[in-house]
Amino acid sequence: MINEYTDGVEKDMMTRASSLRPSATHMLVELPYVPAAVPQARRALREQLARTNLSEEAVGTAELLVSELVTNAVKYGKPPVWLLLELRPGLVHASVSDTSVVLPQRQQVDLGSEGGRGLLVLDALAGSWGAVAVDSGKYLWFDLPVQS
């Protein structure tokens, strides 16, 4: 419920969730601001997608993309972190928000480094994606076309 005590990012995400088309199924989850948020987000996504007839490949791709967004929020953002998932016929839409207004920047990736490839993963696997700054922070999103 949106009320006077709701912070800006939460209010933005709740407003977006409540304005979704009736044909969409959606889920909004607040995630802890710790690395354990990544498996928690994957689990929540998998539980939601288990109610669909999506292929295991589509579910795995959506999990990987959500992992990249949540990792970015926990590593570079500020709490709170929110995951919004919207399922439409033929499309999985997800966005992750935090209260930092700093948008992600492409980095030169060292072949030996463990990180720095999140935006490349989004480029390669998502149908489309973006990052949007709002007064209360930012959100990164992706759309993944799927066969329904």
CATH code of the domain covering residue 34: 3.30.565.10
CA pair distance 60, 113, nearest whole angstrom: 23
Question: Is 3 within the bounds of a domain?
Answer: no
Question: Is 13 within the bounds of a domain?
Answer: yes
The count of domains in the chain is 1
- Whose CA is closest to 115, among 61, 74, 63? 74
Which tens digit of pLDDT belongs to each residue from 48-102? 999 899 999 999 999 999 999 999 999 999 999 999 999 999 999 999 999 999 9
Q: Give residue 40's domain range.
A: 8-17+25-145
Q: CB atoms < 10 A from the CB of 7, how many?
A: 12
This prediction's pTM: 0.81
Question: Is 2 within the bounds of a domain?
Answer: no
Question: Is 95 within the bounds of a domain?
Answer: yes
CA pair distance 62, 45, nearest whole angstrom: 8
Structural contact between residues 82 and 28, judged by C-beta atoms closer than 8 angstroms: yes
Question: Is 136 within the bounds of a domain?
Answer: yes
